[in-house]
Structure 1
Amino acid sequence: MDSACPHEGGPLELGDIEELGSGRFVLTCPWHDFEFSLDDGTSSSGLQNQVYEVKVCEGKVYVQTQNALSRIPTKEDEIMPCGVHVTVENSKCSNSENTLSFWAAKILCTPDPEEKANLTHHIRDLWNTGQITEVGQVHPPAQPSRKSNLRIVEPGRIKRGKGGTLASRIALLHSLANIEQWAIDLSWDIIVRFASTELPSGDPLPLEFFSDFVKVADDEAKHYKMLQKRLTDLDSDFGLLPVHNGLWQSAADTSHSLLARLAIVHMVHEARGLDVHAQTLNRFAAQGDEESVKVLEVIYTDEITHVAAGLKWFTHICAEEERDPLSTFHELVPLYFKGYLKPPFNTEGRQKAGMTEEWYLPLVKPTH
């Protein structure tokens, strides 16, 4: 079972196992007492946790998740004893699996972030070269998989410092790498979760929508690998420090609405990343850490295009539904985002993404 509670990422490995009778056992989260069946991961709260089936065959261990095997494809065809057939010969997979949604779910179920990033690059190539042509439909996992040794804590318990020491800069880079790991998953989740969305006309979402978010996922994978390399250069590694799952809460809250997902994840959270860029960059520059500065500059340039993608498809869908984009955005944000939007804003960066002040200034807390 996943070690992170799907509610707020509580450490299930610290929870208690209780017997309910008739051979039924549940694992209780130590944070908020949500219990999960050890048989199938269900909970009376309505939450669902990932449960993995493990088989040993000829000295090899195979792990099957609810949706796909957590492994990166190799150059050979392999028949897994659990019945999942993964074919990647000549960068192709079998017809039943040759869909973007299948691979999106597979990446979400891949716990190792390096493999997640590598598989993202691989699927980008297959999609861009026409070796994957169908979007398909696959039920997405309840939440992305994470390595079992990753220490997950509440967001408020993450200590980053202000970059004045090497340890503080490592903590900042580690935090950014965690954000990029989640950003990879958020990009694939919007693809697989909303693959069956129909516009009022009855038409499906344009293929351009999926191409845009494949690119976003690919950029986030690139960012993760750049940050991981920088951590390695500083004699650290991703996973050595605790992380939080706060970003996934927004994904869970907006899992029923594509407009809400675009508004909160791609037009609020990603735009906030533009706002804090200058301060973060200055902290590394003040310490002469030019290599980290170069990484942050690449991330910043790409993130502008990600905010633009969110805005593009938010306004497109609003037009299809004959909604006013601005008023719809101003209605959705208070519903799914806690609190007000906080200045200072990176007006220039947001402008480059197409997000003018009329989008966000009305959502700032009144001063009177």
Structure 2
Amino acid sequence: MEDFEEDLVEALKDVVKAGSWQCVGEAARFYSEDGEHIVLVRTEDGRFWAMDSSCPHEGGPLDQGDIEDLGDGKLALICPWHYFDFSLETGSSSTGLQNQVYSVRVVDGKLYINTPSRLSLYPVPVAKKTKQDALLPMETKLESSENSLCFWATKILSTPDPLEKVALTKQVQSLWDTGEITEIGECPPPAQPSRIDSLTVVEPGKIKRGKGGTQASRIALLHSMANIEQWAIDLSWDIIARFSTFKLSSGDSLPREFFCDFVKVAGDEAKHYELLEQRIKELGSSFGALPVHNGLWQSAGETSHDLLARLAVVHMVHEARGLDVHPQTLSRFAAQGDTSSVKILEVIYSDEITHVAAGLRWFTYICSKEERNCVATFHDLVKLHFKGYLKPPFNTEGRKTAGMTEE
């Protein structure tokens, strides 16, 4: 028997040497030369598993997620952002998404991962931002009329209470739409929006979810959505304030319609938060009863210096991925007979299509004015600024309604 085991080890060594296997030691996360990240997981039974560490939904950090037993011994890695499950064995998710998994072997006491890309313990170096690219500190805030859109955008960003943020958003949207606010103004936003002190903010991997199919798990999912909508309100006002002085290569400013579109987006996101917050109350809980994370604001910081990047990543990737997962999310609530939540999700879905369309419209507008190739520019910016991978399934119908193509 010992001879057989030795022969097996030698045979495995030959496979490792001949294939794309790489010895990786015992680190938990690796970086590949093509920019992808791989997370290595060791379960309690001593087995090893490896998959892409960015959630294919919105790039959540799977290396900070929890391992959950889905039953029948099937283990899944749970995304800490939106609680999507990914089978350690196949990479498949109950949401319909698919993550890339990699074969792992232990040979002669050494750990190997099968991937054609060269792995490293350190990320691929990226170009450093210049001082001009950095976020403007609050101390440099410029004087701006209290009747300007940017003044109110900054005020809303600095409002910690979510319901006050919603109320102010509705008020400013009404004043803008009726012409009582006419000046766009100039007022740099804060580096990060304010949040109430009682809100428990934790690392993404520390947020737990239920097993699914219970009221508690529905509350957790609605709570997560409400947190996203609160950030979405802020992202809308941030793009208004941060890029109010943006100039095209021709020297022209953005047309007024740009600001009209994102005031509407802010109003929609405020409506979504209010609907979700009320539904959470109806189910016997409240917003803030569960921990939240601020991982989604990373996209704002990553694209703070580049309007095209902001439009591409936030509106044409993040919001479009929201369209992709809508059918599965809706079916979960429908299967539990939660018609009230289903109606809210349908409202959100309808509005989000217009948000993707707005991002696409202004991305295309700027590219056209600056004689850039829209598709190539989009892919370049996403590759540079989006911390995840765009993988199927895609909601083709929803994306087409928003004006997106398969390119």
TM-score by length of structure 2 reads 0.65
> Quick one: which of 358, 362, 384 aligns to 1:313?
362
- How far residue 162 of structure 1 moved from its aligned partner, in angstroms, is 5.8
Question: Of the candidates 297, 300, 313, which is equivalent to residue 264 of structure 1?
Answer: 313
Partner of 1:72: none
RMSD: 2.1
Note the 1:74-93 alignment, pairs <5 A: none
**Cα pair distance change 1:47/1:157, threshold 3 Å:** farther
Instruction: Give the corresponding residue for 1:142.
Output: 191
Aligned pairs (5 A) from 1:203-282 = 203-282=252-331
Displacement of 1:152: 0.8
One-letter amino acid of the structure 1 residue matched with residue 180 of structure 2: Q
C-alpha separation in 2, matches of 1:181 and 1:66: 26
Q: Which runs of 5+ in 1 are unaligned?
A: 1-45, 51-64, 69-83, 85-94, 359-368
- CA gap of 1:258–1:48, structure 2 versus 1, over 3 A, is closer
2:349 and 2:242 mapped to 1: Cα distance? 27
- Name the SS for the 1:147 alignment partner: coil
- Indicate which of 149, 167, 177 corresponds to 1:118: 167
2:280 & 2:180 partners in 1: Cα distance? 35
User: Shift in Å at residue 334 of structure 1?
Assistant: 0.7
Partner SS for 1:96: coil
What do residues 7-32 of structure 1 show as CA deviations (whole Å, max 9, x unaligned)?
Answer: xxxxxxxxxxxxxxxxxxxxxxxxxx
Larger radius of gyration: 2
Opposite residue 125 of structure 1, the aligned amino acid is S
Paired position in structure 1 for 2:343: 294
Shift of 1:156: 2.7
> Which range moved further: 194-203 or 286-295?
194-203
Does structure 1 residue 188 correspond to structure 2 residue 237?
A: yes
Runs of 5+ consecutive residues of structure 2 not aligned to the other structure: 1-133
2:136–2:188: 8 Å Cα contact kept in structure 1?
no
- After the TM superposition, list the runs of 4 or more consecutive aligned residues in structure 1 that deviate by more than 4 angstroms: 46-50, 65-68
**Residue correspondences, number:** 275
1:183 partner letter: A
Match of 1:165 in 2: 214
The offset of 1:67, in angstroms, is 6.6
Shift of 1:202: 1.5
Q: Deviation string for 1:263-303 (max 9, x for gaps)?
A: 00010000010011111111111110000000000000000
Indicate conservation of the 8 Å contact 2:145/2:185, yes or no.
no
Give the aligned partner of residue 336 of structure 1: 385
CA distance in 2, matches of 1:171, 1:48: 35
Q: Aligned partners of 2:403 and 2:189: how far apart in 1?
A: 31
Q: CA deviation at 1:340?
A: 1.7
**Conserved in 1, the CA contact under 8 Å of 2:357 and 2:403?**
yes
Over 3 Å counting, the alpha-carbon distance change for 1:307 and 1:245 in structure 2 is same
1:156 pairs with one of 205, 216, 233 = 205
Tell me if structure 2 keeps the 8 A contact 1:101–1:191.
yes
Confirm or deny: 8 A CA contact 1:101 1:137 kept in the other structure: yes
Correspondence for 1:323 among 350, 356, 372: 372
Q: 1:135-183 CA distances to partner (integer Å, 9 max, x unpaired)?
A: 0000210100000111111223323346400000000000000000000
Q: Which residue of 2 aligns with 1:57?
A: none
CA contact (8 A) 1:160 1:175 kept: no
Q: Which amino acid aligns with 1:186?
A: L
- CA drift at 1:338: 1.7
1:66–1:141: 8 Å Cα contact kept in structure 2? no
1:343 deviates by 1.1
Query: Given that residues 150 and 184 in structure 2 are in contact (C-alpha distance below 8 angstroms), is that contact kept between their aligned partners in structure 1?
Result: yes
In the TM superposition, residue 47 of structure 1 has moved relative to its aligned partner by: 8.6
* Contact 1:67–1:105 under 8 Å retained in 2: no
8 A Cα contact 1:67 1:141, kept in partner: no
The answer to whether the 8 Å contact 1:67/1:109 transfers is no
Shift of 1:66: 9.2
Q: Match for 1:140: what amino acid?
A: P
TM-score (structure 1 length as normaliser): 0.72
Shift of 1:201: 2.0
Q: Aligned-pair distance for 1:106?
A: 0.2
* Residue identity matched to 1:240: A
Output aligned runs, 1:48-67, within 5 Å.
none
Q: Is the 8 A contact 1:162 1:283 kept in 2?
A: no
What per-residue deviation string (whole Å, max 9, x for no partner) do you get for residues 35-73 of structure 1? xxxxxxxxxxx89998xxxxxxxxxxxxxx9979xxxxx
